[in-house]
Amino acid sequence: MLDHIIAIVKEAAALTREAFSVHNKSGDADVVTTADENVQRFLHEKLACYLPGSGFVAEEGLSAANDADYVWIIDPIDGTMNFSRGIRHHAISVALAHKGEVIIGVVYAPATDDLYVAQKGRGAFHNGKPMAVSDKPFRQGLLCTAMSLYRKEYTDVCLDIIRDAYGECSDIRRFGTAALELCYLADGLCDLYFEIRIFPWDYAAGYLILTEAGGILTGFAGDPLTLDCTTPLIGANNEENYRRLSEIVGRYMTRSLSDEITAQRVDG
Ligand code: IPD
């Protein structure tokens, strides 16, 4: 099954190499390209054929039978802003969930031909090589993070958290594609992750890849990720660093703010 999904994802990736146009969705920071739409259409057609009766939740307005036992959670291009500006740092992210649990995750970066995959209980692999999180302590950690791109009213909270974490770790990175950042964490290239509000299609595949590589990823205060709403994300290479990052997040983020974010249901 995994090989078949990888083949479909790689075929879809060819569509990112064709000419495309860009338009705004909710605002200037929220763009979509015709490549996002073409990749999503292709994945929908092929994956629906491959697994008849399966549901879909995907970034570019696709929601179908998402109460089915098997549901595909798809970001056709994660890092659309990068892609639209010619920054070669974006990825196709495809997760397959069974009864609400992610069982397969595939993240493919077409510009660099990097493929990250995981199957539940079978480990995570980068271009065929087993992945494992780093063993760096917090003070040597690299934190991947972002602002609240599509809800700028959360910026001050993000800045407070990032400032405090930056003061205690080695450095921060903002690559602009959560799916790949979670894979970097899985592969030991960075060690910590925080984002205040993120969509299931951005993290579903990366979540499985990271946890299969030994990492931790939750919502606020250890909340499990439910795949049906926007959520804060806190991730780390190990329990100790996860607790330390959670403590920093908890200085500025409240339960009611987390509830406000997770009350924002998504269905594509
Ligand atoms: C975005 C990217 C970005 C993250 C945002 C996501 P998109 O996904 O993953 O890194 O900070 O939260 O929405 O819109 O490029 O698919």
pLDDT of 174 reads 96
Task: Identify the DSSP state of 224.
Answer: P
Rounded to two decimals, the pTM is: 0.96
The token duo for 168 is 């205690």
The residue assigned the tokens 């403590």 is 247
62: helix, strand or coil: strand
**Phi, psi of 111, rounded to the nearest 5 degrees:** -70, -25
**Phi, psi of 252, rounded to the nearest 5 degrees:** -120, -25
- How many other β-carbons are positioned within 10 Å of the β-carbon of residue 256? 8
Tell whether ligand 1 has an atom less than 6 A from the beta carbon of residue 75.
Answer: yes
- CA 79 to ligand 1 center in whole angstroms: 5
The residue assigned the tokens 């060690």 is 191
Which residue's CA is the closest to the ligand 1 atom numbered 12?
198
What number does the ligand 1 atom closest to the CA of 80 have?
15
pLDDT of 251 reads 98
Q: Indicate the helix (H) or strand (E) that contains 207.
A: helix 200-212
First-to-last alpha carbon distance for the chain, in angstroms, is: 24
Which residue's CA is the closest to the ligand 1 atom numbered 15?
79
Task: Identify the DSSP state of 223.
Answer: P
CB-based burial, 201-220: b 16+ in 10 Å, e otherwise: bbbbbbbbbbbbbbbbbbbb
Q: Which of 177, 184, 194 to mutate to test the pocket of ligand 1 (most atoms within 8 A of CB)?
A: 177
| Rounded Cα gap, residues 183 and 124, in angstroms | 9
pLDDT of 268 reads 52
Tell whether ligand 1 has an atom less than 6 A from the beta carbon of residue 176.
Answer: yes
pLDDT of 267 reads 66
- How many other β-carbons are positioned within 10 Å of the β-carbon of residue 151? 15
Tell whether ligand 1 has an atom less than 6 A from the beta carbon of residue 36.
Answer: no
- CA 179 to ligand 1 center in whole angstroms: 8
* Strand partners of residue 93: 75, 107
- CA 158 to ligand 1 center in whole angstroms: 15
Give the ranges where 109-199 is alpha helix by DSSP (H). Answer: 155-168, 178-186
**CA of 58: how far to CAs of 4, 119, 144, 151, 246, in Å?**
19, 20, 24, 20, 29
The tens place of each residue's pLDDT in the chain, 268 residues long, gives 999 999 999 999 999 999 888 998 777 778 899 999 999 999 999 999 999 999 999 998 878 777 899 999 999 999 999 999 999 999 999 999 999 999 999 999 999 999 999 999 999 999 999 999 999 999 999 999 999 888 899 999 999 999 999 999 999 999 999 999 999 999 999 999 999 999 999 999 999 999 999 999 999 999 999 999 999 999 999 999 999 999 999 999 999 999 999 998 786 5
Tell whether ligand 1 has an atom less than 6 A from the beta carbon of residue 190.
Answer: no
| Rounded Cα gap, residues 237 and 143, in angstroms | 11
Q: Which of 30, 77, 78, 84 to mutate to test the pocket of ligand 1 (most atoms within 8 A of CB)?
A: 78
Tell whether ligand 1 has an atom less than 6 A from the beta carbon of residue 149.
Answer: yes
256: helix, strand or coil: helix
- How many other β-carbons are positioned within 10 Å of the β-carbon of residue 75? 32
Question: Contact 233/203 with Cβ under 8 angstroms?
Answer: yes
Q: Quick one: which of 181, 184, 147, 177 has its CA closest to 162?
A: 147
Question: Contact 91/109 with Cβ under 8 angstroms?
Answer: yes
